[in-house]
Amino acid sequence: MNGGKLRRWAWIHKWSSLVCTVFMLLLCITGLPLIFHHEIGHLLGTEIEAAEMPANTPRISMDRVMQIALAQHPAKVGMFASQEPDDDRIWFVTLATTPTSEVDMKQVAVDARTGEVLGQPPLSSGFMYIMFSLHVNLFAGLAGMLFLGFMGILLLVAIISGVVLYGPFMKKLEFGTVRTERSTRLKWLDLHNLLGIVTLAWLLVVGATGVINTWADLLVKYWQFDQMAEMVAPYKGKPPITELGSLQKAVDAAIALEPDMKMGFIAFPGTSFSSPHHYGIFMRGTEALTSRLFKPVLVDATSGEVTDSRTLPWYLTGLLVSQPLHFGDYGGRPMQIMWAILDLISIVVLGSGLYLWIVRRKTNEARMEKLIHAHQLEAE
């Protein structure tokens, strides 16, 4: 590669890195506790836990679950009811003033076996909420998500340009060389390059999946406009329902349609994942990865009969697969630890890159000052 091309790649690497580094550092720092969100919840005492009982303990009906949850907030209505992928003992019921309201939402955790209210987790406060909001959208909604997506694209550009530069840079050095006997700046440069190559694949995976995740709201809205609109089209123009039918009957109908799947979450009539006339029952797979993939089943909220069900399109499947890859939360504790170690190494890579730029800038400024001083002496 000739000198001109190398200089162009160096310019691309320098500026793509500089623009995104501060935000990538923020994402790495906030992403670290998110990897261990369950464990941190246990330490902080905010994790909802259910008592140990035999696995075959009968479950109470979903109608009863909703009665118990609504009794905690009688002025509100149901929005969603969900379960963790690996724990069907607890229903987390989200309530609001109206099905479309995003203000003053409440969540009630109900034991699916006993009906006991296990707690009411805060939805918009606490340490993990702050970490999650900073990591996902900088507390700026869709605009914040898209901005972080652009920073993620710059990160990918920085990684690719860094790989292009690594070959010529290491031509006269053995792989992994860190010149400890040279200046501090050179030692950090070698360490920056070495750790950057070591974390290359992980950074590409996490960066790419992170970019995909920032498009989540747009992809879901497109699915609602396209697929969901087709699924509820036969009900267009029908008068609003005055009384909801049995939720348990709707759930039974969805389970009968997909007996090899398990419950994921329920969207109540009027929410963005259903229609004014339907319960949206979202079923999920039973394996580590398929448990993150949903299949919507629309059930008439009055009669309890299934009206439509479709496999999610490829773009939503890609989104749902990218989420566990991004957070490393589908491979158990070993994967969590590996993700955390690579996250910490990435913080060193990003921090060292920023340090190298600052040191070089100061060196250039010092050289410039010397030249100016020498020029002034000559003029005198």
Which of 294, 324, 354 is at the close of a domain? 324
Q: Does 303 lie in the same domain as 245? A: yes
Which of 284, 299, 324 is at the close of a domain? 324
- CB-neighbour burial class of residue 138 (10 A; exposed 0-12, middle 13-18, buried 19+): middle
For residue 310, give its domain range.
57-128+217-324
Residue 136: inside a domain, yes or no? no
Residue 46: inside a domain, yes or no? no
d(CA 350, CA 28): 9
124 vs 95, 104, 313, 362, CA distance in Å? 14, 9, 31, 43
Q: Does 287 lie in the same domain as 247? A: yes
Nearest to 5 by CA among 168, 203, 231: 168
- The model carries a pTM of 0.83
Counting the structural domains of the chain, the total is 2
Q: Does 299 lie in the same domain as 233? A: yes
pLDDT in tens, the chain (380 residues): 566 778 888 888 888 988 998 999 999 999 999 988 888 888 887 889 888 999 889 999 999 999 999 999 999 999 999 998 888 899 999 999 999 888 889 999 999 999 999 999 988 888 989 999 999 999 999 999 999 999 999 999 988 888 887 666 666 666 556 666 666 766 767 666 777 777 888 889 899 999 999 999 999 999 999 999 999 999 988 988 888 999 999 999 999 999 999 999 999 999 989 999 999 999 998 887 778 889 999 999 999 999 999 999 999 999 998 888 888 776 678 888 888 888 998 888 888 888 777 877 666 445 545 544 444 445 45
Residue 348 · residue 195 · CB < 8 Å: yes
d(CA 258, CA 243): 26
Which of 289, 306, 324 is at the close of a domain? 324
